[in-house]
Structure 1
Amino acid sequence: MEAAVACLAEHGWAGSTVAVVAERAGVSRGAAQHHFPTREDLFTGAVEYVAEERSAALRALPVQGRAEVVAALVDLYTGPLFRAALHLWVAASNEPQLRPRVTELEARVGRETHRIAVELLGADESRPGARETVQGLLDMARGLGLANLLTDDTARRARVVAQWATLVEEGLG
């Protein structure tokens, strides 16, 4: 799975074949296809792996202030796991056999990420606007991750993250 994610992050969907992943993983193509009969099976498995890794990374965050949680959430969306997931999203938009798998998985990942973010931020979703504040943070983090794919956006991102930390603190009380 790590080889599939790395290939996807580095080469995108077009450059990531079962043969390329097998070579990187140090296994035969036949061995890879024994476990993952199709390319879609392999990369759907990779998305599942990415989702589990992203959730594990979030759950492993120590309890800390909201500003640190905001920064950690953004970091999650600017790393190689997000890059690999993004390549799969793009592929799914053009590959009908991949689309339902990725759509279902990303919906599940989105719910899990939101739930973990709520816990980390100590958000009370019974308060008006709290749910939207958390979701807005996650949407903003995803957007910053997307912007980071094309250019090193570190300086601007730091300013945006600081402002969002303030908004989250105000929005969640």
Structure 2
Amino acid sequence: MRARLLAATVALLVERGFAGTTTTLVSERAGVSRGAQLHHFPTKNDLVFAAVSHVTATRGVELAAAAARIPAGPQRTRAVLGMLADHFTSPVFTAALELWVAARTDPDLLAEVAPLEQRVGRETHRLTVELLDADESKAGVRELVQATLDLVRGLGLASTITDDARRRKRILDRWSEVLEEELS
């Protein structure tokens, strides 16, 4: 039941945003009674805090699984960028984005979201370094990796407004060439 409530919360965050996600709608979407929902999560904040943890864990699992599928060889850098772009355009990222925006003006939510997002950011950076076989002891490499993550995150943000898949592909193709040259 708890998993259904969390899945429903994430789905509603994606569809309706933070403001449009209510405990009543979550109960309906999850197919549980309002009383059962209140038993597990007495307030919207309780539900959202649990969803934050759920989204964070889901993002980590999805990213690790995608990383395991990255091929070796000459197209590896482009495949890594594609994996990151897929991650930052996924419904789970959209749900996380809704939580970031809501946390900006909600100190209680910010206290929950910020440490988890910092952990996800560090793990994503570490994974990207590993997948790109980037040597961060070389001058400028750490900044290139961070610029890569900022780039794909920005492209993910843009995709929430409009379908820019063709533009995103062109940008990532070119950035892949830059990374190949700079990291070799």
Q: TM-score, normalised by structure 1?
A: 0.94
Letter in 2 for 1:79: S
Matched, 1:116 2:127: yes
Matches of 1:160 and 1:132, distance apart in 2: 18
Q: How does 1:38-57 map to 2 (within 5 A)?
A: 38-57=43-62
- Counterpart amino acid of residue 20 in structure 1: L
Secondary structure in 2 matching 1:12: helix
The answer as to whether partners of 1:44 and 1:101 remain within 8 angstroms in 2 is: yes
The offset of 1:33, in angstroms, is: 2.4
Number of equivalences: 173
Q: How does 1:26-65 map to 2 (within 5 A)?
A: 26-61=31-66, 62-64=69-71, 65=76
The answer to whether the 8 Å contact 2:52/2:112 transfers is: no
Instruction: Answer whether contact 1:129 1:171 (CA < 8 A) is retained.
Output: no
CA distance in 1, matches of 2:135, 2:42: 45
Q: Which residues of structure 2 form unaligned runs of 5+?
A: 1-5
- For the 8 Å contact 2:70–2:79, the answer to whether it is kept is no
Q: Give me the CA root mean square deviation.
A: 1.3
Question: 1:113: how far off?
Answer: 1.1
Cα shift at 1:44: 2.0
1:38-117 correspondence runs (5 A): 38-61=43-66, 62-64=69-71, 65-117=76-128
**Distance of 1:57 and 1:139 partners within structure 2:** 19
Give the Cα–Cα distance (whole angstroms) in 2 for the partners of residues 125 and 37 of structure 1.
46
Using the aligned pairs only, state the percent identity. 52
Shift of 1:67: 0.8
Deviations for 1:47-66, whole angstroms, at most 9, x for unmatched residues? Answer: 22222222112211223211
Shift in Å, 1:124: 1.7
Please state how far the C-alpha of 1:81 moved relative to its aligned partner: 0.7
Instruction: Return the alpha-carbon distance in structure 1 between the equivalents of residues 172 and 82 of structure 2.
Output: 6
Q: Name the residue aligned to 1:145.
A: 156
**Counterpart contact for 2:158–2:164, Cα < 8 Å:** yes
Secondary structure of the equivalent of 2:108?
coil
Q: CA deviation at 1:133?
A: 1.2
The offset of 1:89, in angstroms, is 0.7
1:120 & 1:29 partners in 2: Cα distance?
A: 45
Could you list the structure 1 runs, at least 4 aligned residues long, displaced by more than 3 angstroms after superposition: none
Alpha-carbon shift at residue 119 of structure 1 (Å)? 1.6
